[in-house]
Amino acid sequence: MPEGYTGEGFFTTKLSDVVGLARKNSLWPMPFATSCCGIEFMATMASHYDLARFGAERLGFSPRQCDLLMVMGTIAKKMGPVVKQVYLQMAEPRWVMAVGACASSGGIFDTYSVLQGIDQVVPVDVYVPGCPPRPEAILDGFMRIQDLVGQESVRRRNSDQYKGLLQSYGIQ
């Protein structure tokens, strides 16, 4: 519950707090799974761990309908532009979670063909460690994304700092 003033029959607070509360409890994740981390994500979505209880009831497979890109597994350098294109097709505001060692840093694959972390092509908000990460770690990463979303100002995406970050990735 956001901070505010409670009276008899009413509650007042800042608009950005209400928007943050609504956004954080209604994230639509888009899984971009390429290997074993995707299997762990399937377990996270199943009934035992149930990511839906955190407001991620609907997985989207169209970038235009999602606001959280979850990159899981090994990303080859040839797939880097595809990840960036999917990111660009998502509507603002959008967040990115790198799940597993391969998406975060290339993992054990220190080769010419593997991207050494997706943060080379898109900005990442939360990194989830592990090879593969346990479903509890994925849930923890999701809750950290929710914290970021809930605390984010409505105007942050229009700031010069955010625009500079996107320009550093070659994104207009």
pLDDT at 133: 92
- HEC profile for 67-126? CEEEEECCCEHHHHHHHHHHHHHCCCCCEEEEECHHHHHCCCCCCCCECCCHHHCCCCCE
Architecture per CATH, 28-137+148-168: 3-Layer(aba) Sandwich (3.40)
Structure tokens, 134 = 């346990």
13 band by pLDDT with thresholds 50, 70 and 90: confident
Mean pLDDT for 89-114 is 92
The mean pLDDT value for 107-117 works out to 91
Give residues with Cβ within 8 angstroms of 3, minimum separation 6: 13, 17
Model confidence band, residue 74 (pLDDT cutoffs 50, 70, 90) = very high
Q: Any idea where the domains of the chain sit in the sequence? A: 28-137+148-168
Q: Record the pTM.
A: 0.89
The percentage of residues in the chain with a pLDDT greater than 90, rounded to a whole number, is: 50
- Per-residue pLDDT reduced to its tens digit, 30-66: 999 998 888 999 998 888 988 888 888 888 899 999 9
Q: Within a 10 A sphere around the Cβ of 105, how many other Cβ atoms?
A: 18
101 confidence band (pLDDT: 50, 70, 90): very high
Tokens representing 129? 């460690």
Reported as type and span, the H/E element at residue 39 is: helix 36-45
Quote the pLDDT of residue 157: 81
Q: Is the pLDDT of residue 1 over 70?
A: no
Q: Give the pLDDT band of residue 17 (cuts 50, 70, 90).
A: confident
Mean of all residue pLDDT scores within the chain: 90
Looking at residue 86, what is its pLDDT? 95
